[in-house]
Structure 1
Amino acid sequence: MYVDDVLKSCESSEKAISLINQLCELTETKGFHMTKFASNSSEVNSSIPNSELAPSLKCLDLNGSGVHHALGVKWNMGPDELKVCVDIEPKQATRRGILSAVSSIFDPLGLVSPFVLPAKRILQDLSSEDFSWDDTICHSHKVRWENWVSQLPILNDVSVPRCYKPPGFTPIDIQLHCFCDASQDGYVAVAYLRYIDANGSVHVSFVKSVSRITPKRPITVVRLELMSAVVAAELSQSIKRELDYEMCSYYFWTDSMSVLQMINNRSERFKIFVSNRIALIHSLSKVESWFHVSSELNPADVLSRGVMPKHLPKMSVWFAGPEFLKLDRSHWPKPCSVKCDDNFASEVKVNFVSTSSNEFASVFDLLKRFSCFEKLCQSVGWLLRFKAYMKWKFCSGPRPPVGNLSVDELEFAMHNVMSLVQLDSISPSLL
């Protein structure tokens, strides 16, 4: 049986040593042998037999230095940091080769998501332009691809602390802040943990980001923003399940006033696309946890648009979180009143109710069953042909045609539909 690596964080070396002993005793009872142990603590490494240490530690002095691979992520045990491996093999400039190269970047935490998004956009463009898997891509896309690949080694400098809080930092308040944003390139969310200790000191840590490529089909920006809000709500639940923290509060930030109004609205009925996503947001988060942040202060804005790897030195906000989170709450963006705008009004479901007492009421009930005028005319055309058939069968009328409806029959059906609408809507004195 194959068992993958196990990652576990402990508050102290004593707890880690105790956990290792308990785990080994438990697995030995069923015939499983635990090995390849590695820790950033020299005390923990010293308590483990040298033969059971990870290969990366056997040739070291057990001080936890060096780089260890765990679940596809590089762990630099000296400074206790996580790194992303972006060493991709050269591939042919085809759709298949580009997909293989981009997929080889294993980034479960989304540390380098803003820098990978441009490559994903190239893939989407190739797909929409009907390039087959092994076609050589055109010059414009090839230039974009080669430019991105040439900058990729810069991402090897990306690293974040493995532990969310500094050594000796004892928080009394733990908050999860999720930021979301959307553009024509992608809809995304990114989460940060905010710690506060008894002295009022604040520490902010990057947790995870999630990015989705915007579909090629036309979709409004307000709906994209709403989709990003759903991603943020789902991300918060994922983090809540995986972390052993008792969160004191959750905060969700968006720069879309339309989305805030939709989330806060309890009276209007929205179109199905919007109402389903609002219901999901309400089930995963509290309405009072949603706040507005300007695009300039929103770290998700960078992720939604994507950046080239060469801009990594300017991306400190992405890894450390926005500056206002490190300040007292009085310095956070001020709550603003949620006002109605055209984007909000366009998503409200409008119901029209009309009454009719004329002789054509039953016919209009039939017309209301169709949302496509072409299908309506086709159905009316078949009814008129059936009427002509019955006349021919029982009243010696002309024999109706057979087969598909002709152009003349469809045109005659359209005139009948328009006549019925006119009879219902226009005064008889005007006809």
Structure 2
Amino acid sequence: MGIEYEQVTKRMILSVAQQVFDPIGFLCPTILVPKIMLQKLWKENLTWDQLVDEVVAKSFKYWVKALPYVINIKIPRWILIGDNAAEEVTVHTFCDASQDAYACAVFVRVKLHRNVSVFWLAAKSRVAPLKKSGSKMTVPRLELLAGTIGARLYTNVAANLSQKYRCFFWSDSTTVISWIQRKEEWGVFPHLPGIQNPADLPSRGNSPNQLLDSKWWEGPLWLYELEEDWPAGNVTCDEEEVYAGRKKKLVTTLINVDGTSFWNIDYFSKSAKTIRMMAYLLRFIHNTRHPIDKRVGELSLEELEVAENFVFKVVQKETFTGVNAPRIASLSPFVMKKA
């Protein structure tokens, strides 16, 4: 790896990056760097042997020059469990994402003779996928992908641990935690600040010498403390962001035939804002009729869903005269009778 590269091409970057053998991912923060470079080059439609621009070439040369630093990285593989001598064992899976990548890391915390040790077990990082338009996914969506590979990596690690333990899944995305908890598919998934998340490093990438200095395989400092001193798991999320993330596609179009509407649903041009406006109107009606049981605070998911269905009914009533309406007659619509 001490070779000097005068001319840098996409083929060369891929070739050198693939020479680094990292089956369990302890070098994934630094291996991510050339992968991000390659993705940017793909977007520029460069051929395999076409020279890259000066900025990319300089970054790649710096990365290659720093690779020998990884020789000095030493990670203990004996984790003090297996003979039932440990007093307490907990497994922690951390997930994080950036605009360029998403990642996860699994650590084990072992309490033995009143001493606490934290050991890195495995990690994975992935470059953020591109949409057909060439743009990247939103960070919350990437955070969700990080949670997905985190769950898979934990499953692989857990298959090789025989001792009883508790497991924790950590994320710094309140939106993703809300998605997961409301589906009620996973167990404990607390929130922690991004600065305290060890998965932040492999989700952004860094040079080999920075990886050596970081000692990220030792785990976050707070994990060595008592459990009551760990980051609180309380989640305060942005309901609009949570709700927007659930919508796959626009179901219908808001059209006002005669230009007048009692509910004024054409006040906003975006359906999400219209639904939130309707939700607040329905809340006002509810609070007026039920002064003792008033609804306050952020809109709940149930309120938003009720408002969405109400908007659909208003649009259909104002837009279509029935199943024989010219706009939808070709779709062979029918009215389903209630049971």
From 19, 24, 27, the counterpart of 1:104:
19
Shift of 1:314: 3.0
Q: CA 1:124–1:202 in structure 2 vs 1: closer, same or farther (change >3 Å)?
A: same
Partner of 2:124: 210
Any conservation in 1 of the 2:8–2:51 contact (CA below 8 Å)? yes
**Deviation for aligned residue 1:208:** 0.4
Query: Residues 2 and 65 of structure 2 are in contact (CA less than 8 Å); yes or no, is this contact kept in structure 1?
Result: no
Match of 2:214 among 302, 315, 321: 315
**1:305 partnered with 2:237:** no
Q: Which residue of 1 aligns with 2:152?
A: 234
Amino acid at match of 1:188: A
Which residue of 11, 36, 45 maps to 1:121? 36
Give the TM-score, by structure 1 length: 0.56
Instruction: Confirm or deny that 1:334 pairs with 2:232.
Output: yes
1:172 is displaced (CA, Å) by: 3.0
For residues 253-291 of structure 1, the C-alpha deviation after alignment (integer angstroms, 9 at most, x for no partner) is 00001011111114xxxxxxxxxxxx8xx2xxx33x100
Counterpart position of 2:179: 262
Distance in 1 between residues matched to 2:200 and 2:217, nearest whole Å: 13
Q: CA RMSD in A?
A: 2.6
- Aligned counterpart in structure 1 of residue 54 of structure 2, from 136, 139, 157: 139
Query: CA shift at 1:166, angstroms?
Result: 8.5
CA contact (8 A) 2:90 2:167 kept: yes
Check conservation: 1:260, 1:338, Cα contact below 8 A.
no
- Partner amino acid for 1:155? V
Alignment of 1:14-53 (within 5 A): none
Deviations 1:137-188 (A, max 9, x none): 2222111111111111111111111212299992132211000000011010
- Asked whether the 8 Å contact 2:99–2:138 carries over to 1, the reply is no
Whether 2:292 is the aligned partner of 1:292: answer: no
What corresponds to 1:148 in structure 2? 63
* Per-residue Cα deviation, 1:25-74 (whole angstroms, up to 9, x for no partner): xxxxxxxxxxxxxxxxxxxxxxxxxxxxxxxxxxxxxxxxxxxxxxxxxx
Q: What runs of 5+ residues in structure 2 fail to find an aligned partner?
A: 248-307, 333-339
Question: Equivalences for 1:188-207 in 2 at 5 Å?
Answer: 188-197=103-112, 199-207=113-121
Contact 1:261 1:340 in 2 (8 A): no
Change (3 A) 1:244 1:177: closer
Deviation, 1:334, is: 1.6
Secondary structure of the equivalent of 2:327?
Answer: helix
Secondary structure at 2:49 match in 1? coil
1:188 alignment partner, SS class: strand
**Distance 1:162-1:253 versus aligned 2 partners, 3 A rule:** same
TM-score, scaled to structure 2? 0.71
Larger radius of gyration: 1
The alpha-carbon distance between structure 1 residues 257 and 105, as it changes in their structure 2 partners (threshold 3 A), is: same
3-state SS, counterpart of residue 144 of structure 1: helix
Is the Cα–Cα contact under 8 Å of residues 171 and 195 in structure 1 kept in the other structure?
Answer: yes
Identity of aligned residues (%): 28
Amino acid at match of 2:50: D
Does the C-alpha gap of structure 1 residues 127 and 357 become closer, same or farther in structure 2, counting only changes over 3 Å? closer
Q: Which has the higher contact order (CA 8 A, sep 6+)?
A: 2
- One-letter code of the match for 2:179? M
Whole-angstrom distance in 2 between the partners of 1:367 and 1:254 = 48
* Distance in 2 between residues matched to 1:249 and 1:311, nearest whole Å: 32
Count of residues in Structure 1 that have an aligned counterpart in Structure 2: 262
SS of the residue 2:125 aligns to: strand
Structure 1: state its 5+ residue gaps: 1-86, 267-278, 370-431
Matched letter for residue 208 of structure 1: A
C-alpha separation in 1, matches of 2:15 and 2:331: 51
For 1:146 and 1:112, the matched residues in 2 are separated by 18
